[in-house]
Structure 1
Amino acid sequence: MAPSKLNEPPPSFTTTNLSPYTGAPRNVEYINNINFGSSLQPRSYEIQGTLPDSKILFTDVTILDSTGQEPYRGDVLIVGERIAEVGVVPNVDELKQDPDVRVFHGRGRTLMSGLGDAHTHLTWNGGDLNKLGDLGVEEHVLLTARSAQCYLDSGYTMCFGAASAKERLDVVIRDAINAGHIPGPRYLANGKEMARRDGDLVAGITAYADGPDEMRQVIQHHVNLGVDQIKLSMSGEEITEVRSAQDCYFTDEETAACVQEAHSLGRRLCAHARARDSVKMCVKHGVDVIYHASYIDNEGMDMLEKKKDQHIVAPGLNWLIATLNDAAAFGYSHEKAQQVGYQKELDAAIQGLREMHRRGIVVLPGGDYGFAWTPHGTYARDLAHFVNLLDFTPMEAIIAATAGVAKLFMREHELGKISTGFYADCILVDGDPLKNIEVLQDHEKLNVIVINGRVHKASRREYLPLPVTGQDSNHHVIVPDYPKVAVEMQKNALFA
C-alpha cells in the first residue's frame, strides 16, 4: 500500500497561559479517569520470594506519596510484600529495637514510589538492532536479564513492554522476574512488533503481516505465546531514510481488525504511531496506547481529547532529543539528524504534547531506551524532559511515572503510591526531586531500592553507625577522634 504522508507543515498549537503552572497537579484527575475496560485487565502477576513476616521500617522520611498532596514527614512500615503503615507508625519505638526489623533512618530523605516506564525494550542491547535477530538466544537472554536488573538498579519497579526482539524473550524474562529467579521490575510483556512487509523499521526483529486476516493470525500467535499486549508498527522512522515518520502504512481495515482481534482475546494494543494518519487510526479504532504521536494535527487532537479516557500517549521524547544531540559520538551527526527531519519532528512533538497535557490527555514518560545513544540506565531523562519541555511540574512528572504507569498496568489500587495496603515498591532518594527532578538520574542518590517488600539495594551509608568518638578518624566536624581525647584525659589525670 502507498503510505499516507503529511506534506504540509504540522499545526502550531498555542496555549493562552504561558506563565509556569504552580497549582495542584493536574494529571491526577486525567489519570484517574482512564478506563480501559475490565475485559482488558492483564494478569496481576506477583513476585515470589518475600517472606510474609519480614519487616522494614523507614523512620523520619519525607513521604512523596504520588496522590498529589504535598510531601510530609513521617515513618513507613513494610510488612511482607505490602506497606502496612504510612505517616504514623503506632509502635515505632518498639520496632526500632526489634532485631528482626530492618531499620533505615531517613533523616529527611525522600521516600517515594518506584518509577515506571511506559515504553520499555528490555531486549534492546545498546548496539545494532538489525543484528539482534541474529544474536544467539543464549546470549540474548543474558543481555535481556541484565537490562531488567538495570531498570531496577535505576529505581524503576514497573515497566510496560513495547516490543521484543525475539518473540518469547519478554515473556520468559517476565516469568523469571515473577518467579524470583532474576532481579527486575514488575513487567508486562510484548512480542515482536507487527508491521506490513512494506512498512517494517528493523527487519530482523519484526513479525510481518499484510491485510486484516494475516494480522489477526499474528495477534493470535502472540497471545498463544503469553504476551500481555501487542505492538503495531504503523508509521515510519526518519533514521531509516526510506520510511518517514510522517508515513502511515496501515489501512483503516487493518487497524480495525487488529483492535477487534486483540480486544476479543483480552489484550491491549500499543502502536508506533508518529504520523498524523496513524494517530487518527489509533483513536478511531481504539488502539489503547499511542507511542510518539509526533505529527498529530488539530483534527487528531480533537479526536483524542474526546476519547481521552480510553488512550494513553507515551511519546518516547528522549529518542528524538538524543538522536539530535548525542548520536554524533556513534557516527550519526547532528547535521544528518536535522537533515532527515528529527529537529522538525521534535519541535512538532513538543507543541503537540504540551497541548495534550493542557487538554487533559494522559501523557506518560518512557521509551526507546536501549539504543547506543539512549543507553540503559538513563531512563529518568524523560522526567526532566517533561518538566523542561512539556510544561509538567516536577510533581506532575513524578505522578505520571508512578501512579500513571500503575494505571497503565490497570493496578492503580495497589501500585504506584506510598499508601497503606499497596505493594512495597519504593525508593529512598538523597535529595528533593520536586526541587531538582534530575536527582532521579543519579544512581548514587538512590540510596535504597525496595521491590515487593524486599531490599534490592541499600547504599553503604545505610549500614554505617552515626559517628562516635574514636570511629571517625577526625573526619566529622563535631565528634573528635577518640585517641586524641584519650591522651588529653590521661594528661589531665596525671596533673590532677
Structure 2
Amino acid sequence: MWHGPGTTSASAAMDSSPTKPFRFDTLTAPPNSTWVPPKWITGLTNGVHVPTHNGLGAPWDPKIPSINGVDLTKPDPRLKTPDIQIKDERSLSPRRIVFKNVTILDSTGAPPYSGDVLVDGQRIAKVGGKLTSEELATARIIEGRGRTLMSGLIDAHTHFSWTDSASLEGLADMPVEEHTLFTAKSALTFLDCGYTMCLGAASAKDRLDVVIKNAIHNGDIPGPRFLANGKEMAPTTGALIPGITKFVETPKDIKRAIDELADLGVDQCKLSMSGDEITEELRSEDTTFPDELVAAGVEAAHARGMRVCSHARSDESILQCLQYGVDIIYHASFISESTMDALEAQKDRVYVAPALNFPLSTLTDAAAFGYPVSRAEAIGYAREMEIAVAGLKEMHKRGIKILPGGDYGFAWTPHGTYRDLEHFVNLLEMTPMEAILSATALGGELMLHPHELGKVVPGAYADLILVNGDPLQDITLLSHKENLDVILMNGRVHKGECELSDRAAQA
C-alpha cells in the first residue's frame, strides 16, 4: 500500500463506493488539468458534454461513429490477418502427445472438466473423455494427476527490446548486436513464464521486433507467437523517450514513416499520443498528437493492412483514438463519461491494454532505482492509479475488451515478473475466470486467430501450459513460472520433457 501526505491511500480510493466522494491530492494534478471525476466515481449524474465534431471539424456522432466512410464499430476491412505459423519441421512429424487425467480449462467459458487431451503434431486433435488404447499406443504420455491444462497466455503490451533499464534513456543505449541478443532472451523469458502469444507495443530499434518475430516463426529460436511493432511515433515535442522515437511532424511524414515500417514487415504501428508521469515534464493528461496526424497515421496504416496502437493516457487522446480509428488503446487512464460512452459503442472493434503494473510498481518497487514512494506519488502516479482503476472497472462492467500486458522491461518491472492477472482480480474485481479468459481466448482474438489460439479445443494450435494447482482458486499461480510444470509450444515440449513417458497407457 502507498500513502501520500494529505491523501487517502490509493487502495482505499480504489475500494471506495460510488456514494463516497472521490479524493486525491489535487497538488499532484497538472496545472492545466480539466479532468472531472465521472459518475462511476462520484455517483452523481452531471450534464455531460458530448462533442458533435472531431478535432478536424468533421461531424462526429459517438453512437454511429465513422471516419472517411469506414464504420468504426467494426474492424476496418482493409486490415490483414497476420501469419502466426511457426515453421518447426519437427512438429510436422507424426509424433503425438497425450495429457492424461487433466483438469481441462478450455477458455470457451465452460467450467473446467476432467479428461484427456491428444496433441497431434502442431495442433490439438481431441479434447475430453478417455482416449482409446489405439490413440494412447502411439503417443507419449504426460500423466496429469488432476493438474490444470489450459491455453498459454497473452501479453498485449510487449516490449521484448526494453532492456530492464533504471532510466528511460537507457532503453536506447544498448549497441544493436547486444540489443538483438537481449531481445531474443526476453522472448524466451515470456515463453518460460507461460506466455505463448505476444503483441509488440513498440521496439527500441525499428527492426528488433521484426528480426525476432521472423526468427521465432522460422523455428530458429524459441519464443511466443509474436506480432511485431517498430519504433513508436511522435512529434518532436511529444516524444517520451527521444532515443526510441520515430519523429513525425506532418501528415506526409507519418505516411512515409508508416510505409517504411510496413516495408520492414511490422504487423502494427504505435502512436505516442499523450504524456506519461514518469517523464515529469509531459504529464499523462497532456495530449501530444495533433488530430491531423492521428487521422493521417491511421489511414496510412490501415491502407497497408496494419493495425494502430496508441499510448493514450489523456481523455483527449483516447477520444482521438475513437474518432480516427485506432485499434488498440494502451493505458486509457483519464477517460471521461462521454469518451467512455464512445468507447462502449466501439467495444466490438477496440481493445484496451491498461498496463497497470508499470505505475503500480513505480509506486511500490522503484525506490532502489531513484523513485521512492514520496516521489512516485508527487509525480502523480497514485492519483493516476486511483482514476485508472475506477475507469477500468467501469469498462469491465460495460463489456469493453481489457487485456493483460504490463509494460515490462524497466529495472523495477523486469522481464519475468508478469503479474497482470493478479491486478485484474485484485484491483479490477474480475473473477479469476474472467481474468484468464482475457489472457487466453481474448488473446487469440487480439492475435486475429480466435479459432486457432487461446483455447483448448480441437484444431487449435497446441500452445498449452500444465499448471500445478487450480488458478481459478489462486490466480497468483500464473505469476510464478515454477507453477508451470509443462509448457507446450507449437506441439513441442518447451518445458517438462521429464514428464513424458513412451510407455503405452491403458484406456
Same fold (TM over 0.5): yes
Matches within 5 A, 1:181-196: 181-196=220-235
Deviation at 1:254, TM superposition (A): 1.3
CA-to-aligned-CA distance 1:32-87 (integer Å, 9 cap, x gap): x9852443133222111113311010000000000000000000000011000000
Q: Distance in 1 between matches of 2:349 and 2:479?
A: 31
- Pair 1:11 & 2:38 matched: yes
How far does residue 360 in structure 1 lie from its aligned partner after superposition?
Answer: 1.1
CA distance in 1, matches of 2:205, 2:471: 36
* Alignment check: 8 A CA contact 1:5 1:248 kept: no
Q: CA deviation at 1:8?
A: 4.0
Equivalent positions of 1:167-178 (< 5 A) are 167-178=206-217
Residue number in structure 1 paired with 2:332? 293
**What aligned pairs does 1:64-79 form with structure 2 within 5 A after superposition?**
64-79=105-120
Deviations along 1:264-301, whole A, 9 cap, x unmatched?
Answer: 11010000000010000001111000000000011110
Aligned mates of 1:4, 1:187 — CA distance in 2: 41
- Whether 1:87 aligns to 2:125 is no
Q: Spell out the pairing of 1:406-421 with structure 2 (5 A cutoff).
A: 406-421=444-459
Cα distance change, pair 191–68 in 1 and its aligned pair in 2 (3 A): same
1:343-358 correspondence to structure 2 within 5 Å: 343-358=382-397
Q: What are the residue-to-residue correspondences of 1:332-343 with 2, within 5 Å?
A: 332-343=371-382
Matched residue, 2:102: 61
Q: Given that residues 427 and 450 in structure 1 are in contact (C-alpha distance below 8 angstroms), is that contact kept between their aligned partners in structure 2?
A: yes
Match of 1:262 among 298, 301, 312: 301
- Counterpart of 1:440? 478
User: For each residue in 1:206-254, what CA deviation from the matched residue of structure 2 results, as whole angstroms up to 9, or x when unmatched?
Assistant: 1001122211111111111110000000000111111000000112211
Q: Is the 8 A contact 2:466 2:487 kept in 1?
A: yes
Corresponding residue of 2:62 = none
- For 1:391, which of 429, 432, 439 is the aligned residue? 429
State how far apart, in whole Å, the 2-side matches of 1:213 and 1:159 are: 31
| CA distance, structure 2, for counterparts of residue 349 and residue 132 of structure 1 | 26
TM-score, normalised with respect to structure 2: 0.84
Do the aligned partners of 1:15 and 1:355 also contact (CA within 8 Å) in 2?
no
Aligned-residue CA RMSD in angstroms? 2.0
Contact 1:36 1:310 (8 Å CA) reproduced: yes
1:431-470, aligned counterparts within 5 Å? Answer: 431-458=469-496, 460=498
What are the residue-to-residue correspondences of 1:169-318 with 2, within 5 Å? 169-318=208-357
Structure 1 unmatched ranges of 5 or more? 17-32, 466-496
Within 5 Å, which residues of 2 pair with 1:27-46? 35-46=74-85
Residue 73 of structure 2 contacts residue 345 of structure 2 at CA under 8 Å; is this kept in 1?
no
The secondary structure found in structure 2 opposite 1:365 is coil
1:141-197 residue CA offsets vs partner (Å, 9 max, x unmatched): 110000000000000000000000000000000000011111100000000000110
Larger radius of gyration between Structure 1 and Structure 2: 1
How many angstroms apart in 2 are the aligned matches of 1:42 and 1:6?
40
Tell me which amino acid in the other structure corresponds to 2:374.
E
Q: Which residue of 2 aligns with 1:111?
A: 149
How far, CA to CA, are the matches of 1:237 and 1:293 in structure 2? Answer: 12
Q: What residue is the counterpart of 2:443 in the other structure?
A: 405
The separation in 1 between residues aligned to 2:213 and 2:486, in whole angstroms, is: 23
**Does structure 2 retain, via aligned residues, the 8 Å contact 1:42–1:228?**
no
SS at 1:257 equivalent: helix
Shift of 1:129: 3.9
Unaligned stretches of 5+ in structure 2?
1-29, 44-71
Structure 1 range deviating more: 136-145 or 35-44: 35-44
Distance 1:5 1:71 in 2: 50
The aligned residue for residue 149 of structure 1 is 188
Q: Distance in 2 between matches of 1:375 and 1:412?
A: 29
- Code of the residue aligned with 1:398 in structure 2: it is I
CA distance in 1 between counterparts of 2:37 and 2:180 reads 41
In 2, the alpha carbon distance for the partners of 1:315 and 1:52 equals 41
Structure 1 334/463 Cα, relative in aligned 2: closer, same or farther at 3 Å? farther
Q: Secondary structure at the match of 2:237?
A: coil
* 1:109-134: CA deviation from partner (whole Å, max 9, x where unpaired): 00000000110000011014413323
> Quick one: structure 1 residues 413 and 38, their matched pair in 2 at CA, closer, same or farther if it must change by over 3 Å?
farther
1:211/1:79 Cα in 2 relative to 1: closer, same or farther (>3 Å)?
same
Q: Which moved more, 1:159-168 or 1:251-260?
A: 251-260
8 Å contact from structure 2 (residues 141, 502) kept in 1: no
SS at match of 2:411: coil
Deviation (angstroms), 1:463: 6.9
Q: Secondary structure at the match of 2:283?
A: strand
| Aligned-partner Cα distance in 1 for 2:306–2:365 | 36
**CA distance in 1 between partners of 2:161 and 2:420 (Å):** 20
Counterparts of 1:5 and 1:460 in 2: how far apart (Å)?
60
**Structure 2 CA distance for aligned equivalents of residues 192 and 42 of structure 1:** 21
Q: Describe how 1:480-491 pairs up with structure 2 within 5 A.
A: none
| Bigger mean CA deviation after superposition, 323-332 or 144-153 | 323-332
1:159 corresponds in structure 2 to 198
C-alpha distance in structure 2 between counterparts of 1:210 and 1:376, whole Å: 33
| Counterparts of 2:269 and 2:467, CA distance in 1 | 34
Q: Distance in 2 between matches of 1:461 and 1:269?
A: 42
1:147 aligned counterpart, secondary structure? helix
**Equivalent-residue separation in structure 1 for 2:121 and 2:500 (angstroms):** 21
CA deviation string 1:85-107 (max 9, x = no partner): 0002542x344444xx2210000
Tell me the TM-score normalized by structure 1: 0.86
2:365 matched to which residue of 1? Answer: 326
Quote how far apart the aligned CAs of 1:331 are.
1.9
Kindly provide the amino acid, as one letter, of the partner of residue 209 in structure 1. Answer: V
Q: Percent same amino acid at aligned positions?
A: 54
Per the alignment, in what secondary structure is the counterpart of residue 456 of structure 1?
A: strand
Give the letter aligned to residue 403 of structure 2: L
SS in structure 2 at match of 1:269: strand
The answer to whether the 8 Å contact 2:485/2:496 transfers is yes
- Deviating more after overlay: 304-313 vs 348-357: 304-313
Deviation (angstroms), 1:307: 1.4
Specify whether residues 71 and 213 from structure 1 end up closer, same or farther in structure 2 by C-alpha distance, changes over 3 A only. same
**Corresponding position of 1:382:** 420
Aligned length: 443
